[in-house]
């Protein structure tokens, strides 16, 4: 039987997280070049780490969930994302609906997309 020691597991996780952070930073540079250049690579990596921590606190487990949340938070800012999280959480509570972390992240990101679309085109109406 193959055993992995705790130290080995932590080392592998660190390599994985570094790779994820690197790929995410490249994506953010591609999609948000002005903001990326404004805050610099160190600032981008700091925001990626902070966003990933917040996403994990909301139940994000998969790389896809983390990536969605990080990109949406980069687009909207952490204050707006906190508002969206609170709004979705309250809506789910009012409907007495439980959900997985992935479902919650998806709902928050959908609300973020609606917010972005309404900012771009005010004729879409006010938020519900």
Q: 110 falls in which pLDDT band (50, 70, 90)?
A: confident
**Count of H-run helices and E-run strands, the chain:** 5, 0
Name the one residue in this structure whose structure tokens are 């990626």: 48
- Please say if the pLDDT value at position 74 is more than 80: yes
Q: Which helix (H) or strand (E) holds 104?
A: helix 101-120
Residue 58 reports pLDDT greater than 90: no
77 torsion bin: left (phi>0), alpha (psi -120 to 50), beta (else): left
The pTM (predicted TM-score) of the whole model is: 0.74
- Quickly state the pLDDT bin for 9 (edges 50, 70, 90): low
1 confidence band (pLDDT: 50, 70, 90) = low
């Amino acid at each position: 039987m193959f055993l992995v020691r705790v130290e080995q597991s932590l080392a592998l996780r660190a390599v994985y997280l570094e790779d994820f952070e690197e790929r995410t930073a490249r994506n953010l540079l591609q999609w948000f070049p002005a903001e990326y250049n404004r805050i610099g690579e160190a600032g981008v990596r700091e925001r990626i780490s902070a966003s990933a921590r917040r996403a994990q606190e909301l139940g994000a487990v998969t790389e896809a969930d983390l990536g969605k949340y990080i990109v949406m938070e980069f687009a909207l800012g952490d204050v707006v994302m906190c508002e969206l999280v609170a709004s979705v959480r309250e809506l789910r509570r009012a409907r007495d609906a439980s959900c997985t972390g992935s479902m919650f992240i998806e709902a928050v990101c959908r609300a973020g997309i609606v917010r972005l679309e309404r900012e771009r085109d005010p004729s879409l109406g006010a938020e519900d």
